[in-house]
Each structure stands twice: as structure tokens, then as C-alpha cells.
Structure 1
Amino acid sequence: MTGMKLPPCYIGLDEARQVLAEMGVELSPRQMKRAADRDARGHRKLPFFVDPIEGTLKIEKGTLADIYNRLQVDALRDFNNSC
């Protein structure tokens, strides 16, 4: 069947670190926490949210991978445009 989307898969900080590590992005627990915490303006580097039931930070697994894939595509486009 085409057009069927998989249900979202929400993961916590440790699982997010693992997903990124599998993509070759090695982060320490502290680096991951800093990416998830709000800055002075109230913004997060990555779109984590507080799970209303557990009270822990979560992110959708596919969104996390998409962000890194999009950044790589943008970098390649910028590189090709500079040549």
C-alpha cells in the first residue's frame, strides 16, 4: 500500500543519542542535553518537547534523522553553488 505513514516513534535523550551515533554523530550526554535544553530566548536546538505523562524530554525519531539529512543536503547545495 502506498501513501501509508508509519506512526510516530517518540524517543528520549538516550535513544536520540543512539540514533545520532548510528548516523555517525557522536555526542556526549551533556552535549545531547544542551541541544534539548532551552536557551536564554526559550528556544531548543532540536525540537524536543516535554512528555506530558512522563515529564521527560522526547523527540520524534524520524524528525531527528530528517533534520540531519536536510542539513547535509543544504550543505551540499551550498557547496555546489559556490563552485
Structure 2
Amino acid sequence: MKLPPCYIGLEQARQVLAEIGVELTPRQMKRAADRDAHGHRKLPFFVDPVEGTLKIEKGTLVAIYQQLQSDAVRDFVDKD
């Protein structure tokens, strides 16, 4: 059974990442959520239409880091 989405804010996202060993300062977290000069974000945050604050889906955030780690392992193994 699939769990319903869990949308979290910047500080909660920072805490989730800290739980998996990714320690970021509030400023680093905000920079990951802010749009760059091309209008892109480093992480898929969106503006909550009710609260007007940035949100991200918790499972998506963790999945991004898991995928990056898997890709790094695959690239390491494939370098032979």
C-alpha cells in the first residue's frame, strides 16, 4: 500500500536530510530551494498555494539522495 504524500517546509526538509547524514545550514537549504538565474531550483520545491511557503514531498527528497548515491556507486563500478 502506497503512503499518501507528506509535504514539508524548508526547516523540516533540512531535518530530514540531517537524519540521513546530510547536514545543511538554513542558508544552504534556502539556496537549494531558491530559483537560479534560469528559473530552476536545485531541489523540487514548490510554493504552497494556501500558505505561500516553499514545500517539497518528503519521499521525493529522500529518493533524490538515494538515486544520486546509487548513480555514484554505479559510475564507480563501471569505471573499470
* Cα shift at 1:15: 0.2
Alignment of 1:32-71 (within 5 A): 32-71=29-68
Tell me the SS of whatever aligns to 1:78: helix
Give the aligned partner of residue 10 of structure 1: 7
Unaligned ranges ≥5, structure 1 = none
Which digits, 9 at most, give the CA deviation of each residue in 1:31-79, with x for residues without a partner? 0000000000000000000000000000000000000000000000000
The amino acid across from 2:60 in the alignment is: T
Give distance in 1, aligned partners of 2:67 and 2:33.
Answer: 19
Identity %: 80
Give distance in 2, aligned partners of 1:37 and 1:53.
Answer: 19
Residue 28 (str. 1) matches residue 25 (str. 2): yes
* Residues matched between the structures, number: 80
The amino acid across from 1:66 in the alignment is: A
CA RMSD of aligned residues (A): 0.4
Unaligned ranges ≥5, structure 2 = none
* Cα shift at 1:12: 0.1
Tell me the SS of whatever aligns to 2:64: helix
